């Protein structure tokens, strides 16, 4: 009975001495593997093809794995100290707990206070040396936290300090839960997406009858493209039969808002959440309606298609995302990259190995990078011919950062924007040649464009420069030398242009409704993280003369 009593007392003593450490570990793991994924998802839903219901399983499993590992490590450490340190084990384990609590506290401050000035993850290589000032701030915060803990331990003793740490940690879990749930509710994060995954299906299929192709090459500015053509006149032969419209004005400086405008013909003016706007616009797309009426199969090779709920049209290369499961190992690997990026001190963030939030590789879907698209074109030179008319919208990397190709699409380090444009031309040349070699070039109308131009993402002026993307058009059975037109085109014209091309008109005829002089409008925002505040600009000069854009005074905010 005494032995049992002693055993019970020893167990209670051990549990009591371990509990502060367990509470600290719980708070740290909960913050990194439950709270942070929920916050990331709530505020960046459009960057994920999956919804929260699909994410919950790997998220919770990851939390339990790391929490379980932490509790085991703490327990082993505790009993090892009891075994080897004798009566001094309590002091030694107390110091360890104080250190762990300090790490948790600094991590919390780093990820939730100091992270407000993190550079955007847009694929641009981050210049970590330019952030040296934040290294100083991180060091100051760390020293302040360490000083506070030392002061508490000296003034109140280690046991009492750990008691405070225990309650703080448990309270932090409750606080983080409330914040995460509120954010999820505010951003409608618990709503099922009913999204579609766009795959490579039909990428090598072509119609014997009629084909309509929109090849969107991301972030290629018209000014830079024209410069590349001037330096390499042979590229004009690639685009023989095409008409080039250098004076084209996009709707927005970034991709997200331009896609519904390009495919659905509607401007987003922040009257409703973007998910709802995009889905409604695509469901009512005049282009899709005409394609469907004329018997075209619709294929959308768009890596991040924001189209939720019921679909008015059958997307032939799409599949329901609900049939997929998020692989735990791959999900955690991507999540850990972002956690390291956000919660590590600035001096160590450069080792997070993250350039963008890329969860697209977790499922078999269309991959947009130029190298992969080029391989898909060249590895299947013989197209599979079908009796159905075919429409394909192909959104590829184009001139988007990072600059990792030479002009021949070889992967290199420290490439240039011009090299990436040339690499895109090589890819487009392969696509056009494949149409010719398969005898379907004349029966194919092709629109080659960009969603926006080139300009510094974190510069107010740069976001105006991005308003001038490329646009090249070839209608059915159209033959002539490479031609340039001074037509002042706007993305608001695209729906009518598509309709005219589908009716068999040439490029010149398809754009004949556009006056030689006109007013156009462009909606500016600070960068892709601030799309909820838009300012309207009037454009009466050339689209590349961004310094002449004038504010109309109209502002569109999402409330």
169 backbone dihedrals φ, ψ, rounded to 5°: -65, -45
Q: Are 123 and 303 a contacting pair, CB within 8 Å?
A: no
Do both 97 and 40 map to the same domain?
yes
Residues 128 and 175 reside in one and the same domain: yes
Query: 105-119, 197-211, 375-389: lowest mean pLDDT where?
Result: 105-119
520-524 sheet: strands from edge to edge: 520-524, 533-539, 550-557
**CA neighbor of 256 nearest in space, from 274, 238, 242:** 274
Q: Helices 370-378 and 417-437 sit at what angle, rounded to 10 degrees?
A: 20
Closest alpha carbon to 212 in 466, 408, 473, 390: 390
Residue 7 has pLDDT above 60, yes or no: no
Backbone φ and ψ of 63, nearest 5° = -60, -45
pLDDT at 337: 87
Please check whether residue 92 lies inside any domain of the structure: yes
Q: Are residues 136 and 279 in the same domain?
A: no
More confident residue, 541 or 338: 541
6 falls within a domain: yes
d(CA 147, CA 126): 32
Whether 398 contacts 224, CB under 8 Å? no
Q: Is the dihedral of CA 262, 265, 267, 271 positive or negative?
A: negative
Q: How far is CA 59 from the centre of its chain?
A: 19
d(CA 304, CA 193) in angstroms, rounded, equals: 13
Q: By C-alpha distance, which of 432, 499, 452, 446 is closest to 243?
A: 446
Task: Answer whether 0.75 is exceeded by the pTM.
Answer: yes
Q: Choose the weakest-confidence range: 125-139, 257-271, 394-408.
A: 125-139
Contacts 24+ apart (CB under 8 A), 362-367: 362/326, 362/327, 362/330, 362/331, 362/334, 363/49, 363/197, 363/321, 363/324, 364/199, 365/49, 365/197, 365/198, 365/199, 365/303, 366/198, 366/199, 366/200, 366/203, 366/301, 366/302, 366/303, 366/317, 367/303
Identify whether residues 79 and 144 lie together within a single domain. Answer: yes
Distances (CA, A) of 247 to 47, 482, 488, 512, 541: 31, 16, 5, 15, 9
Q: What does the alpha-carbon distance between residue 7 and residue 337 come to, in Å, rounded to a whole number? A: 44
354 part of a folded domain: no
Model confidence pLDDT, tens digit, residues 127-186: 667 677 777 877 787 788 888 888 888 888 888 888 999 999 999 999 999 999 999 998
Q: Report the CATH number that the domain containing residue 452 is assigned in CATH.
A: 3.40.720.10
- The verdict on 392 and 256 lying in the same domain is yes
Contact status, residue 299 vs residue 390, Cβ threshold 8 Å: yes
Host H or E run for residue 522: strand 520-524
Task: Find, among 473, 468, 438, 435, the residue nearest to 453 by Cα.
Answer: 468
277 within a domain of the structure (yes/no) = yes
Question: What is the CA 160 to chain-centroid distance, rounded?
Answer: 46
Identify whether the C-beta of residue 275 lies closer than 8 Å to the C-beta of residue 46.
yes
Q: How confident is the model at residue 43 (pLDDT cuts 50, 70, 90)?
A: confident
- Give 396 or 331, the one with higher predicted confidence: 396
* 146 and 227 both lie in a single domain: no
Domain assignment of residue 535, yes or no: no
Of the listed ranges 48-57, 287-296, 396-405, the one predicted with least confidence: 48-57
What does the DSSP assignment read for 291-322? HHHTTEEEEEE-TT----S--SS-BTTEEEGG
Q: Can you tell me the distance from the alpha carbon of 469 to that of 453, in angstroms, rounded to the nearest whole number?
A: 4
Task: Evaluate whether 374 touches 410 at the Cβ level (below 8 Å).
Answer: no
Residue 552 falls inside a structural domain? no
Pair 149, 271 in one domain: no
- How many CB atoms sit inside 10 A of residue 131's CB? 18
Range 210-230 burial, b when 16+ CB lie within 10 A, else e: bbbbbbbbbbbbbebbeebbe
pLDDT of 333 reads 87
The CA distance from 173 to 166, in Å, is: 11
- Answer whether 262's CB lies under 8 Å from 494's CB: yes
Burial of 154 (0-12, 13-18, 19+ CB in 10 A): exposed
Q: Are residue 107 and residue 179 in the same domain, yes or no?
A: yes
| pLDDT computed for residue 1 by the predictor | 46
- Is there a single domain that holds both residue 291 and residue 396? yes
Instruction: In whole angstroms, give the CA distance from residue 559 to residue 496.
Output: 32
DSSP state of 367: -
d(CA 387, CA 34): 50
Instruction: Determine the average pLDDT of the residues in 59-74.
Output: 95
Average pLDDT across the chain, whole number? 90
3-state secondary structure of 206: strand
Q: Is 479 a member of any domain?
A: yes
pLDDT for 427 beyond 70: yes
H helices present in 297-403, as ranges:
328-343, 346-349, 370-378
Residue 354 has pLDDT above 80, yes or no: no
- Percent with pLDDT over 70 in the chain: 93
Same-domain pairing of 242 and 146:
no
CA distances from residue 296 to 29, 210, 311 in whole angstroms, order as listed: 51, 8, 16
- 11 and 100 belong to one structural domain: yes
Which residue range(s) make up the domain with 286?
Answer: 212-321+363-518
C-alpha–C-alpha distance, residues 64 and 547, integer Å:
54
Q: What is the pLDDT of residues 281-323, one digit of tens each?
A: 999 999 999 999 999 999 999 988 899 888 999 999 988 767 7
Give pLDDT, residue 460.
86
Same-domain status, 180 and 223: no
Q: How many domains does the chain have?
A: 2
Give the separation between CA 531 and CA 523, rounded to whole angstroms.
10
Q: How many Cα atoms occupy the beta-carbon half-sphere of 553 within 13 Å? A: 0
Q: Is residue 18 part of a domain?
A: yes
My answer on whether omega of the bond before 274 falls inside 30° of 0, hence cis, is: no
Residues in the chain: 559
């Amino acid at each position: 009975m005494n032995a049992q009593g002693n055993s019970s007392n020893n167990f209670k003593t051990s549990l009591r001495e371990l509990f502060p450490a367990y509470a600290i570990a719980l708070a740290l793991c909960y913050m990194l593997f439950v709270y942070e994924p929920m916050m990331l998802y709530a505020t960046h839903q459009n960057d994920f093809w999956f919804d929260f219901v699909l994410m919950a399983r790997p998220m919770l499993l990851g939390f339990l794995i790391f929490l379980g590992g932490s509790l085991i490590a703490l327990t082993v450490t505790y009993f090892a100290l009891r075994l080897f340190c004798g009566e001094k084990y309590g002091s030694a384990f107390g110091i360890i707990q104080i250190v762990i609590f300090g790490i948790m506290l600094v991590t919390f401050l780093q990820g939730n206070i100091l992270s407000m000035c993190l550079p955007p993850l847009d694929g641009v290589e981050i210049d970590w040396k330019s952030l040296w000032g934040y290294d100083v701030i991180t060091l100051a915060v760390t020293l302040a936290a360490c000083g506070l803990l030392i002061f508490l331990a000296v003034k109140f003793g280690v046991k009492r300090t750990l008691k405070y740490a225990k309650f703080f940690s448990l309270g932090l879990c409750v606080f983080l839960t409330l914040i995460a749930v509120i954010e999820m509710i505010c951003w409608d994060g618990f709503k099922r997406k009913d999204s579609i995954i766009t795959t490579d299906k039909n990428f090598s299929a072509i119609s014997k009858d009629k084909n309509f192709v929109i090849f969107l090459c991301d972030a290629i500015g018209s000014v830079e493209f024209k410069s590349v053509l001037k330096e390499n006149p042979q590229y004009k032969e690639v685009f023989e039969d095409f008409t080039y419209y250098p004076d084209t004005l996009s709707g927005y400086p970034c991709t997200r808002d331009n896609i519904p405008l390009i495919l659905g013909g509607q401007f987003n003016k922040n009257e409703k959440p973007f998910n709802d706007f995009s889905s409604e616009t695509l469901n009512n797309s005049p282009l899709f309606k005409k394609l469907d009426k004329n018997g075209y199969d619709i294929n959308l090779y768009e890596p991040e298609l924001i189209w939720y709920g019921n679909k008015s049209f059958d997307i032939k290369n799409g599949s329901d995302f609900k049939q997929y499961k998020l692989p735990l190992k791959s999900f955690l690997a991507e999540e850990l990259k972002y956690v390291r990026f956000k919660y590590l001190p600035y001096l160590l963030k450069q080792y997070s190995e993250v350039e963008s939030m890329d969860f697209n590789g977790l499922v078999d879907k269309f991959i947009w990078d130029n190298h992969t698209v080029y391989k898909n074109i060249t590895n299947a030179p013989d197209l599979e011919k079908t009796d159905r008319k075919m429409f394909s919208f192909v959104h590829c990397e184009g001139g988007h950062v990072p600059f990792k190709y030479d002009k021949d699409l070889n992967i290199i380090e420290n490439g240039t924007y011009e090299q990436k444009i040339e690499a895109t031309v090589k890819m487009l040349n392969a696509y056009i040649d494949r149409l010719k070699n398969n005898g379907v070039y004349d029966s194919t109308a092709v629109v080659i464009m960009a969603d926006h131009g080139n300009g510094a993402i974190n510069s107010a002026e740069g976001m105006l420069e991005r308003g001038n993307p490329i646009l090249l058009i070839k209608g059915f059975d159209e033959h002539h030398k490479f031609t340039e037109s001074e037509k002042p085109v706007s993305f608001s014209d695209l729906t009518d242009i598509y309709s005219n091309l589908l009716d068999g008109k040439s490029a010149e005829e398809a754009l004949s409704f556009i006056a030689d002089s006109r007013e156009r409008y462009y909606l500016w925002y600070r960068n892709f993280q601030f799309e909820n505040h838009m300012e309207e600009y009037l454009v009466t000069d050339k689209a590349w003369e961004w310094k002449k854009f004038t504010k109309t005074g109209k502002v569109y905010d999402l409330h």
